[in-house]
Amino acid sequence: MKDFFIKHKEIVLYVFFGALTTLVNYAVYFALTVSFFKPDVPLLLQAANLLSWLSAVVFAYFTNRKYVFESKTSSKQREFFLFFLSRLSTLIIDAAIMGVFVSLLSFNDKIIKIFSQIAVIILNYVFSKLFVFKKGGEKT
- With the CA atoms of 46, 48, 49 and 55 taken in that order, what torsion angle do they form, in degrees rounded to the nearest 10? 140
Predicted confidence at residue 136, as pLDDT, reads 62
- 75 pLDDT more than 60: yes
**In the chain, pLDDT over 70 holds for what percent of residues?**
96
- 88 pLDDT more than 70: yes
Q: Examine residue 89 and state whether it is found in any structural domain, yes or no.
A: yes
Q: Examine residue 95 and state whether it is found in any structural domain, yes or no.
A: yes
Q: Examine residue 22 and state whether it is found in any structural domain, yes or no.
A: yes
Using 50, 70 and 90 to split pLDDT, how confident is the model at 103?
Answer: very high
Q: Examine residue 125 and state whether it is found in any structural domain, yes or no.
A: yes
Question: What is the rounded CA–CA span in Å between residue 75 and residue 78?
Answer: 5
- 137 pLDDT more than 80: no
Predicted confidence at residue 140, as pLDDT, reads 39
Question: What is the rounded CA–CA span in Å between residue 48 and residue 37?
Answer: 6
Q: Examine residue 139 and state whether it is found in any structural domain, yes or no.
A: no
Q: Examine residue 137 and state whether it is found in any structural domain, yes or no.
A: no
Name residues whose C-beta falls within 8 Å of residue 108's C-beta, 6 or more positions apart in sequence: 102
Find the domain containing 70 and state its range.
Answer: 2-132
Structurally, the chain folds into a number of domains equal to 1
Predicted confidence at residue 62, as pLDDT, reads 94
Question: What is the rounded CA–CA span in Å between residue 31 and residue 85?
Answer: 26
